[in-house]
Amino acid sequence: MNDRPVSVSSELAVRERLAAYLTLLRPRQWTKNGFVLAGVVFSGLFTNASALAAAIAAFFVFCLISSASYVYNDMCDLEEDRLHPVKCLRPLAAGTVTLGEARALLVLLLTAALAGGFSLGPSFGGLVLLYFLWTMAYTRWLKKIVLIDLISLAAGFVLRAAAGAVAVGVGISPWLLICTTLLSLFLGLGKRRHELLLLETQAGAHRAALADYSPELLNQLLATVTAATLVSYSVYTFTAGHSLYMMLTIPFVLFGLFRYLYLIYRCDLGGSPEEALLTDKQLLIDVLLWGLSVLTVLYLNGRGIV
């Protein structure tokens, strides 16, 4: 008679433990790995089954390696996260996952990601390893240096896009890399602004580089990067390919940038780009319409424009 409550309690504890592990992996942030798919989409190989399969496999490898980097980051930033009103709820900072468990999970994720990466080719595997080493350097040193932290963050997105192109065996346009860099800077600036305003006088204690930023500086940088992103994408649409119809996708990019600025300045959602994308209906619909319009133009035209 008493076995059932004990069994239910044990099952509940297991579920809570698995939920804590899953939270540590930050699956919502896997949306950032969508940059890995840029190569297969813009190369015109989206309808090629083998290329698409390679791109999807590359995407999942980056989900594993990015989760490994998040675990490593949380291990290194344990004390700083406890000072943050939101990050203090992360499993390690909250104490729901121990450091020993996190280390074991890190080894498992890293092993699986590298095995999967090198199975797709030595060049791709090398980029996966480089990405993890870069995130380690970012966590340990680069994110503590003003402005370098933003550029380093953007480099991680460029590595994703480059790795995706390598996975399917295509080149990638310098313009696409520039757009990737600028868009990631745009997202990073919004996040830094959110952290600075949220933490106020405690900002420097949480992240050393934040002490050297000001809201005015970040607002200026955001304005500059927003304009540069729009111009770069516009130039890309009518110089990188063979169809001027790609210019029809510019309004979606314009609205997306403006909508995200609205979410940053009016809704205070700049701290979590993935949350903004997944919860704001207008932004999500805009991104989906942009993707649909790009695919329509590229594949009705019959040629990719990477």
Per-residue pLDDT, 242: 55
Alpha carbon dihedral 174, 179, 182, 186, in 10-degree steps, equals -160
Sign of CA dihedral 107, 110, 116, 117: negative
Instruction: State in Å, rounded, how far the first CA of the chain is from the last one.
Output: 66
8 A C-beta contact, residue 26 and residue 272: no
Per-residue model confidence (pLDDT) at position 302: 56
Measured from the Cβ of residue 35, the count of other Cβ atoms closer than 10 Å reads: 23
Structure tokens at 227: 């304009």
pTM, whole model, 2 decimals?
A: 0.86
Question: Is the distance from CB of 151 to CB of 136 less than 8 angstroms?
Answer: no
Domains, in order of start, for the chain: 27-301 (1.10.600)
Question: Is residue 225 within a helix (H) or strand (E), and if so which, with residue range?
Answer: helix 215-239
pLDDT in tens, the chain (306 residues): 455 555 656 776 678 788 888 888 999 889 889 999 988 888 778 888 899 999 999 999 999 999 999 999 999 888 887 877 778 888 888 888 889 999 999 999 999 999 999 999 999 999 999 999 999 999 999 988 999 999 999 999 999 999 999 999 887 778 888 999 999 999 989 988 888 887 665 655 556 678 888 889 999 999 999 999 999 999 888 876 656 788 899 999 999 999 999 999 888 777 778 778 888 999 999 999 999 998 888 877 655 554
| Tokens (6 digits) for 142 | 């680069």
Q: What is the pLDDT of residue 77?
A: 84
Q: Using H for helix, E for strand and C for coil, what is the string for 92-112?
A: HHHCCCCHHHHHHHHHHHHHH
Residues 6+ apart with CB under 8 A from 86: 198, 271
**What phi and psi, each to the nearest 5 degrees, are found at residue 83?**
-90, -10
Give the pLDDT score at 174: 84
Answer positive or negative: Cα dihedral of 94, 194, 227, 249.
Answer: positive
Half-sphere exposure for 306 (CA within 13 Å, toward CB)? 20
| Consecutive H or E run containing 197 | helix 174-199
